[in-house]
Amino acid sequence: MSPARAKSGGWGRAAAAAGVVLLVAGCGGGSDKETGTPAPPSGATAPVGAGAEAEAGGGPDAAAVTEEISAAATAAGFTEEPSDEDVPPALKPCMVSWQVDDEKVTDSEKSYDDTVAALARSGWKESQKFDHKGSVITSLDKGGWTVKASHHGQGGFLTVSFVATDNGPECEKLFKEDLEKNKNAR
């Protein structure tokens, strides 16, 4: 069993990845941090993220984002890790978590790079990239969504995931409620 499997299941890793999403990029939605301008409502056709353009008639939904991530990742050689834990039902319209089965990976770095490149070719715009000591986190924006593509591989430990969040105000509210609920559950 790999070290990644020794950790909590899919939702635990998805929650950790979502924490990275919130830490690295903020909650999204709300207002433009520099100008204070209110963010466009979910489904608006105004630009979002780092120059990404919302699709005509609004951004994609969670199913479309899942399909794009899955197509890019599987074409690059990844297999999704089946999980008995999932994103909480209230957050499903706002969050997608696609975890790589680390036991079925042959060249994780190449597959990661190929997946990010395929997402870019399908309209996802890279907004940030962190590369430090065996860990790479690439942020990609499209239609009001942000994907945090992460590759952590060091000392025999491998975790690769693609976690997408809807940056609209409705989802921001749901994420905050979920964080508060989990904080109070401790």
Reported residue count of the chain is: 186
Q: What is the pLDDT along the chain (186 residues), one digit of tens a residue?
A: 344 444 334 444 444 444 444 433 343 333 333 333 333 333 333 333 323 333 344 689 999 999 999 999 999 999 999 775 678 888 999 999 999 999 999 999 999 999 999 999 999 999 999 999 889 999 999 999 999 999 999 888 899 999 999 999 999 999 999 998 888 776
C-alpha 106/C-alpha 123 separation (Å) is 27
For the whole prediction, is pTM greater than 0.85?
no
- Give all strands of the β-sheet with 157-166 in edge-to-edge order: 95-99, 157-166, 145-154, 135-142, 125-132
